[in-house]
Amino acid sequence: MKTIVIVLILGIALAISAQTPPRFVAVTIDDLPVVVKNSDLGKRQKITKKLLTHITKAKAPAIGFVNENKLYRDGEIAETEVELLSKWLDAGLELGNHSFSHKSLHAIPLDEYIADILKGEVVTKRLLEQNGMKMRYFRHPFLHTGLKLEIKQGLNDFLERNNYTIAPVSIDNSDWAFSRAYDNSIEKNDKSLRKRIGKAYVPYLEAKTVYWERQSVKLFGREIKQTLLLHSNSINADYFDDLMKMYKQRGYKFIALDEALKDKAYRLPDTFTGRAGISWLHRWALAKGKGNLVPDEPRVPKFVMEAAGLESE
């Protein structure tokens, strides 16, 4: 009798599993080598080591987007900083261009912005070539993609001529605000606040993920292959393992960015010319009319914004 019950339970579980569509997410990490308030090299090395250890453990084929201005000390390239990038490649991961100095396309002329992209590929391209790889992806700083269609098109033409593919974001979030609050708590040696911020972080990312899943279903009637934006910072170094466990519990498999972009959703044009740096899921929804926006997008908790020294979202 017990055997029959077990078989029935397993059968039901398999039936439920078969009815649940698989979920996929590409992990993308901005602002390499590291973004942190404390400029101590040892701190940056520690963050890099912890983050890469967690990425390797999760078997996530992540890509890191580099700001090469962070590789310089006193106007000269610092090999200790370049070595941080090399560790990403040693871990079997990919690197992309996030511009040299992380300037907004909304703040400078297009030709100056393009010059910053070219300046930001010098070291990274060399490292990739040494590993038998090519530079393939560009990620807009702040996700600012142009206030006029002609500017967007001018940039897109340049990127295409230079064999760059834009790295879009579907699961947008404010991990940077948590990071600033987290770093402030470390600087103040406020262990209680740091623990409280960390405890709120993964639930926040899960709530945002659920939101983008809902937005995807509303737009496409299905969940697309998602692209997750994170940053190379202290809070992700400490909580990346928990984040990946959360995604696995939600049924996600980790895929490379090129695999995610095979989803036909990413073939849709981006015509957004607003000031905000927003998810491509919102860009596509706005193109169809505001009625396609899912309401009640989760916000960063007020205490986190206050700890970060920021106004409420």
Looking at every residue in the chain, the average pLDDT score rounds to 93
CB atoms within 10 A of CB 227: 27
Q: How far apart are CA 25 and CA 60, in angstroms?
A: 9
**pLDDT at residue 15 tops 70:** no
Say if residues 214 and 206 touch (Cβ distance below 8 Å).
Answer: no
**pLDDT at residue 47 tops 60:** yes
- Cα dihedral 57, 170, 182, 50, rounded to 10, equals 20
pLDDT at position 2, please? 41
**pLDDT at residue 14 tops 90:** no
What is the arithmetic mean of pLDDT over 63-80? 96
Beta strands, E only, the chain: 23-32, 63-66, 72-73, 76-77, 94-97, 137-138, 165-166, 226-231, 252-255
What is the arithmetic mean of pLDDT over 158-186? 98
Q: What is the CA radius of gyration of the chain?
A: 20
DSSP 165: E
Q: What are phi and psi of 259, to 5 degrees?
A: -70, -40
**pLDDT at residue 17 tops 80:** no
Q: What are phi and psi of 165, to 5 degrees?
A: -110, 135
**pLDDT at residue 3 tops 50:** no
- Partners of 97 in beta bridges: 66, 138
Q: What is the pLDDT of residues 106-127, one digit of tens each?
A: 999 999 999 999 999 999 999 9
Report pTM: 0.92
**pLDDT at residue 271 tops 60:** yes
Q: Comparing 289 with 20, which gets the higher pLDDT?
A: 289
pLDDT at position 311, please? 85
Say if residues 280 and 274 touch (Cβ distance below 8 Å).
Answer: no
**Domains defined for the chain, CATH in brackets:** 21-308 (3.20.20.370)
For the chain, report the end-to-end CA distance as a whole number of angstroms.
57
DSSP per position, 89-134: HHTT-EEEE--SS---TTTS-HHHHHHHHHHTTHHHHHHHHHTT--
pLDDT at position 20, please? 67
**pLDDT at residue 129 tops 60:** yes
pLDDT at position 65, please? 98
Asked, as a colleague might, if the bond just before 33 is cis with ω within 30 of 0, I would say: yes
**pLDDT at residue 184 tops 70:** yes
DSSP 295: S
What is the arithmetic mean of pLDDT over 31-40? 88
**pLDDT at residue 62 tops 70:** yes
pLDDT at position 10, please? 42
pLDDT at position 8, please? 46
**Token pair for 280:** 């491509």
DSSP 30: E
